[in-house]
A and B are shown apart, each in its own frame.
Chain A
Amino acid sequence: MADPSRSRATVAFLVLPGLAVLAFSLVVPLCVSVYFSFTDSEGFGEYKTVGFENYVAILTDDPVFWRSLRNVVVLIVATIFVQNPIAFVLAAILSRMSARLSRILRTIYFVPAVLSLVVVAKLWADVFNPTFGILNKTLHAIGLDGLAMSWLSDPRTALPAVIWIILWQGFGWAVFFYYAGLMTVPRDLEEAARVDGASTFQTYTRVIIPYMFPVISTVIVIDVISSMKQMELIYLTTNGAPGQLTQFLGVYLYQKAFVAGEYGYGNAISVLFVIISVGLTLVVQRVMRGRLR
């Protein structure tokens, strides 16, 4: 009898339909993108190939593209150095609470993550609203009228406000991963450190965090991927304004493609977007793996 786990017909039956869907909506579009990125197409009518013209223009003569990329980096940094430490501390406290309390709180922390991005965007646009938003009302109520401003359109606060919305929605995931990671730390490891006279703080910095490095590095890789993918929250709140200050690659690409109708140029941004996403993910993954050894 032939080894059934090698049956070609079975494998084809199981794998090909899913692969076909991925090919149709992921692989082919990327090829379409590459093709049009070498043209000056505007969506309809004649177009001609222009070689690397679009790419050269984007990389050498498009400050908005670079601004978008910079904002992604700012978001990644804010996620790793602001959101993650807070989430880690919360997870560490939760891990010392009763199982019941910790479950209830983790469930609450995660609620924003299951909300539609449209709801989250509108909700925060309303919180930040200069006339009836709760934030300005609070500032007026406590006498800090000078701080009240139009958060999402003031150049000084627009980017931090948008980043805050993204971090707020992501806390649930971060706490969730760190809590799961903390649950894997063996009890005796902690106990041994305690016996050696380590304080709680030292136990965390010298024993638990090093032990959890694989989890931390996984979370960081996920942070990078999800930061690259942010688009809807920006599109629905500032749409890149004021003056392109809150522009992100996904939003910029959308405006170029569907508002300005620059298909050739938009596709070139798409291709670069994919290359940067995949490249950055691989680099971060490699760096993290390297530190593991």
Chain B
Amino acid sequence: MTPPPQPHAGLRRAGMGVLHLVLVVFALSQLFPLLWVFLYSLQRSGDLFGNAMLSLPHDPQWVNYTRAWTDGEMVRYGLNSLIVVAASTIASTFLAFCMGYAIARMRWRFKRLVVGAITMGMVVPIHATLLPNFIWYNLFGLVDTRIGLIIPYVAFTLSFNTLIYVGHFQNLPVALEEAALLDGASWPRILWTVIAPLARPATVIVAVMTTLTNWNEFIMANTYLSSDELRTLPFSIIRFEGQFSSEYAVQFACMVIVALPAVALYLFFSKHIMAGATAGAVKE
């Protein structure tokens, strides 16, 4: 929409220019630290202490990245992350789909109680469960195992995911399921062949958000896992604190490698996430 020409058109244009500037400056402030980390990751570790602020390295040290890859145990930690994240994302998405459907579409007793419990799950801080869970999981031999990390990863993403599905299902027309029911289809069949395809937009958001959350998760892994063989990717950065603490540039390279998959996944799905989450946010 273009506003009608006004006597103050020049002033208006200047105003718009200022507004654009504000937006761009803010964008830079959000990206600048990342850019800085990237540039430093290509320096020699000793050069960081010089006076230069943001110089492009004349002689980019890509070797920092190969060193980050090997000294940071990227392959082992990365595989651990992949296993734990894949398992917890699949489980959490599936369980949230089922619960979300039952809450949005079916009538049953104790529903309010269950919804209350799910809402509680959004409010209770993970940190308050670390100690009791450590004690409790220990009884089952779950401390320092993959499954002992996957279970809480599912639990702490389930509430948010279920509520996303509930919101989505409440906006779907019921006619399709009724038709399928009249045809004599069974419930599992209807859920899988009729409902699941319709829930696709919600599933994309849920799966991507769960993957990002658990890919980045640190404190539960730090608490429940003690053996190095099971640790996840964020620990490759932590490794550099101890034995390679003077290798700043390599640590920076390590940070870039850890951040990249998450940023790439986000950029790839950002349109879906923005659209879907907007629908959710607005309804509230």
Q: Is B one of A's binding partners?
A: yes
Interface size on B, residues (CB 8 A): 90
B216 within 8 A of A: yes
Question: Given contacts A171-B30, A273-B127, are A119 and B53 in contact (CB under 8 A)?
Answer: no
User: In chain A between 7 and 50, which residues have their CB closer than 8 angstroms to a CB of chain B?
Assistant: 7-8, 10-11, 13-15, 17-19, 21-22, 24-30, 32-33, 36
The range of chain A's interface size is 35 or more
List residues of A (220-247) whose CB comes within 8 Å of B's CBs.
Answer: 225, 228-229, 231-232, 235-236
Pick the contact of A105 from B23, B216, B219, B284 — CB < 8 Å? B23
- A67 on the B face (CB < 8 A): no
Bound-state Cα–Cα, A198 to B23, Å: 25
Contact B99 A116 (CB under 8 A): no
Let me know if B98 and A15 touch, CB within 8 A: yes
Q: Quick check: A111 and B31 within 8 Å, CB to CB?
A: yes
B121 contacts A281, CB within 8 Å? no
A70 within 8 A of B: no
Q: What chain B residues lie within 8 Å of A5 (beta carbons)?
A: 105-107
Q: Can you name the residue of chain A whose Cβ is closest to the Cβ of B47?
A: A132
Distance of A225 Cα from B262 Cα, bound (Å): 24
A residues within 8 A CB of B251? Answer: 122
Please report the C-alpha to C-alpha distance between residue A17 and residue B282 in the assembled complex, in whole angstroms.
Answer: 30
Contact indicator A93/B128 (Cβ below 8 Å): no
Interface mask (A123-148 → B, CB under 8 Å = 1, otherwise 0): 11011000110100110110000000
B136 contacts A by Cβ under 8 Å: yes
Query: Which residues 243-258 of A have a CB within 8 angstroms of B?
Result: 249-250, 253-254, 257-258
The answer on a CB contact under 8 Å between B158 and A32 is no
Q: Roughly how many angstroms separate A24 CA and B99 CA in the complex, as a whole number?
A: 16
Q: Which residues of A contact B87 (CB under 8 A)?
A: none
Q: Mark A101-115, 1 if CB is under 8 A from B, else 0.
A: 001011111111011
**Contact between chains at B135 and A36 (CB < 8 Å):** yes
Give the residues in chain B near A160, CB-CB below 8 Å. Answer: none
A267 at interface (Cβ–Cβ under 8 A)? Answer: yes
- A15 contacts B127, C-beta separation under 8 Å: no
* Cα distance, A180 to B265, chains bound together (Å): 22
Pairwise interchain contact B259-A116, C-beta atoms closer than 8 A: yes
Chain A nearest CB, measured from B80 CB (Å): 14
Chain B residues whose CB sits within 8 angstroms of the CB of A277 once the complex forms: 123-125, 128
A109–B30 CB distance below 8 A: yes
Q: Smallest CB-CB separation from B219: which chain A residue?
A: A232
Chain A positions within 8 Å of B154 at CB level: 21, 25
A214 interface neighbour in B218, B263, B284, Cβ under 8 Å:
B284
Of the candidates A15, A103, A108, A281, the one whose C-beta lies within 8 Å of that of B27 is: A108
Whether A231 lies near B219 (C-beta < 8 A) is yes
Identity of the chain A residue whose Cβ is nearest the Cβ of B153 in the assembled complex = A25
Residues A25 and B123 in contact, CB atoms below 8 Å apart:
no
CA distance A4 to B270 in the complex (A): 38
User: Shortest distance in angstroms between A189's beta carbon and chain B's nearest beta carbon?
Assistant: 15
Residue interface mask B125-162, A partner, CB < 8 A = 1: 11111111111100000000000000110111011001
Q: With a CB–CB cut-off of 8 A, which chain A residues contact B9?
A: none
* A56 interface hit (Cβ, 8 Å): no
B42 within 8 Å of A by Cβ?
Answer: no
Which residues in A have their C-beta under 8 angstroms from that of B187? 4, 7, 10, 13
A94, A124, A176, A249: the one contacting B277 at CB < 8 Å is A176
Cα distance A228–B123 in the bound complex, in angstroms:
9
A116 touches B258 (CB 8 A): yes
Q: Which of B129, B216, B271, B284 touches A25 (beta carbons < 8 Å)?
A: B129
Q: Known contacts A116-B259, A180-B281, A229-B127; decide if A18 and B30 are in contact (CB<8 Å).
A: no
A26 proximity list for chain B (CB < 8 A): 117, 120-121, 124, 129, 155
Partner of A21, one of B36, B49, B95, B108: B95
By the criterion CB–CB under 8 Å, are B36 and A137 in contact? no
**In the complex, what's the smallest C-beta–C-beta distance from A248 to chain B, in angstroms?**
9
Closest Cβ of chain A to B158, distance in Å, is 6
With A114-B266, A115-B216, A258-B134 known, 8 other A-B pairs at CB within 8 A are: A22-B118, A25-B155, A126-B40, A184-B282, A250-B128, A263-B131, A273-B128, A278-B120
Q: List 10 A-B contacts (CB under 8 A).
A: A5-B106, A21-B158, A30-B132, A94-B23, A105-B27, A108-B30, A119-B259, A138-B53, A180-B278, A215-B281
